[in-house]
Amino acid sequence: MAVGFASENLGFEALSRRAGRQILFHYLLRVEAWFDDRAGTRALAALDDRSLADLGLSRADAARTSRSAPQR
């Protein structure tokens, strides 16, 4: 109890809260990026081969653009 009181007076509690918020914010940004990636992957998957060719992509190229696909 005395250690918690002393660390609170030194501002360590605020520091740990700030670090916790930064970690949470980082993970929320990663989840948002994952949702954006999935939306892009779905949009490319919905295109037919001719539309993909107009973009200069093949069906295999469209599958590789996903971050969840293994990168070489």
- Tell me the per-residue pLDDT of 8-63, one tens digit each, with 9 for 90 and over: 555 556 557 778 888 889 999 999 988 998 898 899 999 999 999 999 999 988 88
Residue 34 located in a structural domain? yes
Nearest to 22 by CA among 14, 7, 33, 10: 14
Within a domain: 71: no
Helices 2-10 and 12-46, axial angle in degrees (round to 10): 70
For the chain, helix, strand, coil in percent to 5 are 80, 0, 20
Domain of residue 23, residue span = 2-64
The pLDDT of residue 16: 72
Domain annotation covers residue 14:
yes
Whether residue 72 is contained in a domain is answered as: no
pLDDT confidence of residue 8: 56
Asked if residue 13 is part of any domain, the answer here is yes
Q: Is the pLDDT of residue 3 over 90?
A: no
| Residue 28 forms part of a structural domain | yes
More confident residue, 71 or 40: 40
Total-model pTM = 0.59
26 located within any domain: yes
User: How many domains, the chain?
Assistant: 1
